[in-house]
């Protein structure tokens, strides 16, 4: 089976950098995905990693270490609109197992 752990809540200041960690134990792995979900809305794709290392996409970057079962999402130059839930998900063929999400609050 799969087990995904991420912090429940985080708070950061506008303009700052925040790192959201995700650890996983998995019986199969085809990639790790990060999604953003605003309250009352559907998740939207942010980033994914299949191989070890850092993937950068504008203000968002994601890192993966498969040997450690560890990933993080890095958000730079935080904006108020980044206040949302961030979901880590491990893919195994067509099945995705999601963590419970990290609620990020960005304060002025």
Nearer to another protein, 1 or 108 (CB): 1
- Binding residue for another protein (CB under 8 A) from 73, 89, 104, 106? 89
Establish if 51 lies at the interface with another protein (CB under 8 A): no
- Binding residue for another protein (CB under 8 A) from 12, 22, 78, 99? 99
Establish if 96 lies at the interface with another protein (CB under 8 A): yes
Shortest CA distance to 83 belongs to which of 57, 107, 58?
A: 107
* Least Cβ distance, residue 83 to another protein (angstroms): 16
* Least Cβ distance, residue 61 to another protein (angstroms): 17
C-alpha angle 27-28-31 in degrees, rounded to nearest 5: 135
Q: For residues 34 and 81, is the Cβ–Cβ distance under 8 A?
A: no
In 1-108, where does DSSP find H-type helix?
Answer: none
Q: For residues 84 and 31, is the Cβ–Cβ distance under 8 A?
A: no
Q: How far apart are the first and last CA of the chain?
A: 41
- Residues of this chain that interact with another protein (CB under 8 A) are 4, 30-31, 33, 41-45, 48, 50, 87, 89, 91, 93-101
């Amino acid at each position: 089976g799969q087990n995904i752990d991420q912090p429940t809540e985080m708070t950061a200041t506008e303009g700052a950098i925040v790192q959201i960690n995700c650890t996983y134990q998995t019986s199969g792995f085809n990639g790790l995905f990060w999604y953003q979900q605003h309250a009352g809305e559907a998740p939207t794709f942010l980033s994914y990693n299949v191989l070890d290392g850092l993937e950068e996409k504008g203000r968002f970057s994601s890192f993966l270490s498969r040997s450690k079962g560890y990933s993080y999402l890095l958000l730079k130059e935080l904006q108020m609109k980044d206040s949302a839930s961030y979901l880590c998900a491990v893919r195994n063929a067509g099945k995705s197992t999601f963590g419970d999400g990290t609620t990020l609050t960005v304060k002025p």
